[in-house]
Structure 1
């Protein structure tokens, strides 16, 4: 079967080259995986710091590196709550935990289970129904309903199976968040997989040993063919599946990417989900298990793809796609009607019979046109497409690094939000926990620590300084140590906080020196403003920024990004009075229009780096009576607000510009600034207060 004519080998090699060019190669797969795992690690470090007893796992195509830009894969996050303990044997019961017994009997669909509530004080079944999410069955067992997921839906989110789907901004990932409960033991229904080996002893012993050690999860969704779907929970072996995908070779990954492109282009038109990408992955794994490893090479990619499509066709014909690890779980059970089945079967057959022509018509990532060019179907010089290096530089790693940088800012928002009204000793405890990741962490934790720690160091130093400034206008040496330790968080934000500390104590010369150096650094590098407050992508990215993302590791983020400057309530004495107003932007009516978690930054003073730099320069030069430089700083502030497309807190920049205009005795321009600010953000905007103050002052003066 696998002895192919030369044209098939040539087609395979050309296909492999095309996939290499759009980022499906060893280098990019590994860099995608590292980026996703870094974000996962930062999220879990945050959980440890704020004592959240949960772990987040980034799963799916993004974490596997089995995607391209054109596939628009979302990020799948499995959020595991360790307050719960799912057991399969009474010996696994734990005191004080929310214990549930996994039940699989004649009433549950294979691959699914019921969860029976147990007592937390002793290993016995619970007898009381605590809420509407529970029901007592005919045997008197208190069963947990999977409808609990409805309690976690926010505005703009929708339930999609066991997950909560949230659409990302253009340039950022869409997100599927799956809530899960952990089971430390491997599912009994999958015990046979631990002893199963296909051709060439795959999956390997190491994979199966890892699987046995990771246990499984249960997620809140029932089978489509269940008689009581609201009581069923799906058994998930996601970590084992991720491990298996990490052990695939590049040809197997390319085959999977092609399957998903075919799925999206020909089998699931108009975003209908008849066959899922997980089914394609399952088909691929069965094919790998049942073939020799030597088959999966670049010069045989076309044959491997055909083999997978034939297997997928067989699954559709038989209405059966067996889960790779729990084979009794039929992924296609109740999935489509007889009419849809007939249409899918026909479409797969048509593709196999005309596969070369069909491959040439794939629009995703312009794969079809690229393949035509490789096969000399298009004359050279016509319909030129960027090379692999250009694709990487302009798209893939830039996209990845922007998401990492946004994640750094977002994690700090979560941590700062949890610090609200906490005393300095609690914050010091957080830093102690953080340092353990530097001293005892693995490589990923070391890398995540280096990205997360500086901003926390700066905030702690600023809080110490604020406390002292409030008493005696002095900055204690300990505060300066922490502020200095955080200076390399990014190109500007921590330096600007240090300058603001010196400004608040009246040390204008030191503040001016820091600002001058920061401005030089800002314009010596291709700096991109980053803000996790609103989780929006940048509007414009320079070619030099893209080149550095492609050539360097994630550490380069510190030298080419400028985070927004955040002052929490505990830093108020380090904040210029004009910016302090931002901490009190929300009226009682405004609070109704805020999200408790996403909008936590609205209780702080938050401003983009560059406007804050020029604002501080304006204030300092005014104090030093260097009027020409003061006006230059004001002009730069105005120009930045007018021309910088990447500002995320433009309303705040306009508010501080308005106050500068008031100090310049230009009330009409000040009013214009405040009105423009309200156009940016109508609610939760302190511009309303500034307008009232300004008009009141004008009335009094008249």
Structure 2
């Protein structure tokens, strides 16, 4: 490979072009990073939760492709347990745990000794399922406590996608404890610094301030496996990844594609992508920076594969920051080792030809096209669309958590909670993406608060106060429709019909059916393909596209009930006591609210407003659009609710048979926890009474 520089340079350039086409270029990588870090900020802005969420790994690093289909590494930092490395860091009134990193612990791991919360002294509780007391009387926290703590992790996110959920990458969720200081086992790494060596002194200085996590996993085969906690330097590793150049990132992506294509199908979970990352770090730190160029990509890949080959021979892949931690310990079985070595050797000896056989992301066929001077379809728009759609999902997930926190509150309690949150957010010194996250979420909270106040106003005075309207106006640009539909709903409930008509007309004007994508994460349902216009808009914008191209569900809490038309209020009472037993955990987060997709609710409100205004033609047009939407829109999350609303319209039209058909269709979609049962009983009662 090294004897033919022209060949190497040509293949490297074509390979770089192919990787750019499948989304491994500066623009898409930066877009990936911005979106995932913004999701972090959005999900952590509510500090009332017990967890802080972080996204580490390939997704947030931008080191993946559509074909690799990387998991989402979701780390939840449990805030209620403190981990310290020095007695001087002990905090009164807190559950403190001292990291023990001596010779009895596996490299890269630690014990957590339990301390008292009232004095900087060892705890002396009795041992049980969570604690272990050694012969000297020291009490240690077992890593099995994670199984107890994870019972509560669902409350951090009913909307978080799990393994196998349609439209999302699989989630590898890890619960961790945080230590604010740099681990002792990694302090030698900070001191190692040569001239022009990577990482720089500035990078290491930053890393040293990030502290570390401890994860409830013991070293495989260790005699203390139940007591050991793995030390994780995820923040530092993120810093290192964010300081790689594009050729280094492409080299890492190629290693993962090779792993997925040639090794994982035969020997799954033997070589991990984290090992590949570690190999890359070691290669970069031991080579001159000028070799990591686009026209030298093939040689850089070969260099990394050689090091990985040698690591497998020695069955030792030292952690980059904690070298004593052998990532390959217990991973390479004697029966497997020669076959993996043979695969890697064949790839290295092929001088790049093996890449032509890769089907992942059509890399091989795309490389063929490049050498034939033919163009292939680029994937940047698909990636951008997925990123921004999932960002909208994160916003909805955060709102669902807020709704759940407010659902059993009285209107006055809800007002105080929302006021405190909004005031805190306005007065906080947010910077960077935290500030962007605040700007994305605050309009939603203003709308909710305005709606709760309006409900109180309507209940007491049958009017809406100027304060409520002002708050609602601050939330008009959350998305295309949902907040505006709340305003229209409020105006309809106080019979401000002309104003409601103007708001609804503006929503319909902005709701481009070729672009706007419905957003619903209340439950899992079969989704159709997203709109081409949505793809194109996302490729040219960042998070600002959410207000122009998405339409979230319209959600009314019980404390907003007087802002809800009577036909929709039934949804708050959809469940009998028996029905509640058949709810999933996720359904408990929304089934006591009135929730409806934006587009059918738009047409339902138009129908009701035009009925009161006596505009028959427009009323019938709205009824037709409502019927068509329920029939043809593939991505409705609450089709059964839309059918219930359509049934009420049919009742108003005097079409009892059609109304009954709507309710039966609704029940065919959701047989339990469905207000259609109430509507059917009411309708049949009316019909029977009319006949008698």
- Check if 1:483 corresponds to 2:483: no
Deviations along 1:319-367, one digit per CA (max 9) or x if unpaired, are 1000000000000001131011122111111211124221001111100
In structure 2, relative to structure 1, the CA distance for the partners of 1:165 and 1:428 (3 Å cut) is closer
1:282 aligns with one of 257, 272, 278: 278
In the other structure, the counterpart of 1:181 is 177
In the other structure, the counterpart of 1:316 is 312
- Check if 1:100 corresponds to 2:97: yes
Contact 2:523–2:586 at 8 Å: present in 1 too? no
In the other structure, the counterpart of 1:161 is none
- Check if 1:402 corresponds to 2:389: yes
Runs of 5+ unmatched residues, structure 2? 155-159
Contact 1:667–1:694 at 8 Å: present in 2 too? yes
In the other structure, the counterpart of 2:358 is 362
In the other structure, the counterpart of 1:15 is 15
In the other structure, the counterpart of 1:412 is 399
Structure 2 counterparts to residues 571-610 of structure 1, below 5 A: 571-596=560-585, 599-610=588-599
Deviations along 1:3-31, one digit per CA (max 9) or x if unpaired, are 75210111111111100111101111101
Contact 2:127–2:133 at 8 Å: present in 1 too? no
Measure how far apart 1:137 and its partner are: 2.3
3-state SS, counterpart of residue 180 of structure 1: strand
In the other structure, the counterpart of 1:254 is 250
Contact 2:443–2:477 at 8 Å: present in 1 too? yes
Contact 1:171–1:537 at 8 Å: present in 2 too? no
3-state SS, counterpart of residue 229 of structure 1: coil
After TM superposition, the structure 1 stretch with the greater mean CA deviation from structure 2, 488-497 or 427-436, is: 427-436
In structure 2, relative to structure 1, the CA distance for the partners of 1:153 and 1:307 (3 Å cut) is same
In the other structure, the counterpart of 1:424 is 415
2:427 aligns with one of 433, 436, 444: 436
RMSD of the TM alignment (CA)? 2.1
After TM superposition, the structure 1 stretch with the greater mean CA deviation from structure 2, 104-113 or 631-640, is: 104-113
Contact 2:418–2:445 at 8 Å: present in 1 too? no
- Check if 1:639 corresponds to 2:628: yes
Contact 1:199–1:290 at 8 Å: present in 2 too? no
In the other structure, the counterpart of 1:687 is 676
Measure how far apart 1:113 and its partner are: 1.1
Measure how far apart 1:197 and its partner are: 2.6
3-state SS, counterpart of residue 217 of structure 1: strand
3-state SS, counterpart of residue 135 of structure 1: strand
In structure 2, relative to structure 1, the CA distance for the partners of 1:692 and 1:271 (3 Å cut) is farther
- Check if 1:656 corresponds to 2:655: no
What is the TM-score normalised by the length of structure 1?
0.94
In the other structure, the counterpart of 2:369 is 373
3-state SS, counterpart of residue 200 of structure 1: coil
3-state SS, counterpart of residue 579 of structure 2: helix
- Alpha-carbon distance in 1 for matches of 2:617, 2:421: 45
Measure how far apart 1:189 and its partner are: 0.7
After TM superposition, the structure 1 stretch with the greater mean CA deviation from structure 2, 521-530 or 19-28, is: 521-530
Deviations along 1:234-274, one digit per CA (max 9) or x if unpaired, are 00100000000000000000000000000000011168111
Contact 1:16–1:301 at 8 Å: present in 2 too? yes
Q: Give the number of aligned pairs.
A: 682
Contact 1:199–1:291 at 8 Å: present in 2 too? no
In the other structure, the counterpart of 1:210 is 206
- Alpha-carbon distance in 2 for matches of 1:127, 1:662: 70
- Check if 1:146 corresponds to 2:143: yes
- Alpha-carbon distance in 1 for matches of 2:401, 2:269: 35
- Alpha-carbon distance in 2 for matches of 1:100, 1:263: 39
- Check if 1:31 corresponds to 2:20: no
3-state SS, counterpart of residue 487 of structure 1: coil
After TM superposition, the structure 1 stretch with the greater mean CA deviation from structure 2, 16-25 or 686-695, is: 686-695
Measure how far apart 1:598 and its partner are: 5.7
Contact 1:539–1:645 at 8 Å: present in 2 too? yes
Runs of 5+ unmatched residues, structure 1? 158-163
Contact 1:198–1:290 at 8 Å: present in 2 too? no
Contact 1:134–1:143 at 8 Å: present in 2 too? yes
Contact 2:366–2:376 at 8 Å: present in 1 too? yes
Deviations along 1:601-623, one digit per CA (max 9) or x if unpaired, are 11111101110011111111111
In the other structure, the counterpart of 2:335 is 339
- Alpha-carbon distance in 1 for matches of 2:42, 2:549: 20
Deviations along 1:519-578, one digit per CA (max 9) or x if unpaired, are 111138721111232366852322222111111222021011111111111110000011
3-state SS, counterpart of residue 317 of structure 2: coil
Contact 2:369–2:376 at 8 Å: present in 1 too? no
In structure 2, relative to structure 1, the CA distance for the partners of 1:338 and 1:502 (3 Å cut) is same
Deviations along 1:49-79, one digit per CA (max 9) or x if unpaired, are xx22532111000110001111111211111
- Alpha-carbon distance in 1 for matches of 2:522, 2:96: 37
Structure 2 counterparts to residues 101-180 of structure 1, below 5 A: 101-129=98-126, 131-151=128-148, 166-180=162-176
- Alpha-carbon distance in 2 for matches of 1:499, 1:540: 30
- Alpha-carbon distance in 2 for matches of 1:566, 1:255: 46
Contact 2:384–2:538 at 8 Å: present in 1 too? yes
- Alpha-carbon distance in 2 for matches of 1:216, 1:144: 18
- Alpha-carbon distance in 2 for matches of 1:57, 1:278: 17
In the other structure, the counterpart of 2:6 is 6
Measure how far apart 1:446 and its partner are: 2.1
In structure 2, relative to structure 1, the CA distance for the partners of 1:423 and 1:616 (3 Å cut) is same
Contact 1:322–1:331 at 8 Å: present in 2 too? yes
In structure 2, relative to structure 1, the CA distance for the partners of 1:657 and 1:37 (3 Å cut) is same
Measure how far apart 1:195 and its partner are: 0.9
In the other structure, the counterpart of 1:160 is none
Measure how far apart 1:456 and its partner are: 1.1
- Alpha-carbon distance in 1 for matches of 2:161, 2:142: 20
- Alpha-carbon distance in 2 for matches of 1:535, 1:187: 41
Measure how far apart 1:142 and its partner are: 1.8
Contact 1:525–1:560 at 8 Å: present in 2 too? no
3-state SS, counterpart of residue 55 of structure 2: strand
- Alpha-carbon distance in 1 for matches of 2:285, 2:496: 70
- Alpha-carbon distance in 1 for matches of 2:243, 2:72: 20
Structure 2 counterparts to residues 415-564 of structure 1, below 5 A: 415-420=402-407, 421=409, 422-437=413-428, 440-523=429-512, 526-534=515-523, 538-564=527-553
After TM superposition, the structure 1 stretch with the greater mean CA deviation from structure 2, 530-539 or 175-184, is: 530-539
Measure how far apart 1:154 and its partner are: 7.1
In the other structure, the counterpart of 1:392 is 380
Contact 1:538–1:646 at 8 Å: present in 2 too? yes
Measure how far apart 1:515 and its partner are: 0.6
- Alpha-carbon distance in 2 for matches of 1:435, 1:649: 34
After TM superposition, the structure 1 stretch with the greater mean CA deviation from structure 2, 199-208 or 561-570, is: 199-208
In the other structure, the counterpart of 2:689 is 700
- Alpha-carbon distance in 2 for matches of 1:156, 1:87: 23
Deviations along 1:80-138, one digit per CA (max 9) or x if unpaired, are 12221111111111011111111123332110111111111111111113752222223
In structure 2, relative to structure 1, the CA distance for the partners of 1:147 and 1:306 (3 Å cut) is same
In structure 2, relative to structure 1, the CA distance for the partners of 1:150 and 1:463 (3 Å cut) is same
- Alpha-carbon distance in 2 for matches of 1:357, 1:598: 51
- Alpha-carbon distance in 2 for matches of 1:210, 1:86: 20
In structure 2, relative to structure 1, the CA distance for the partners of 1:149 and 1:697 (3 Å cut) is farther
Contact 2:54–2:74 at 8 Å: present in 1 too? yes
3-state SS, counterpart of residue 110 of structure 2: strand
- Alpha-carbon distance in 2 for matches of 1:298, 1:495: 49
Contact 1:78–1:180 at 8 Å: present in 2 too? yes
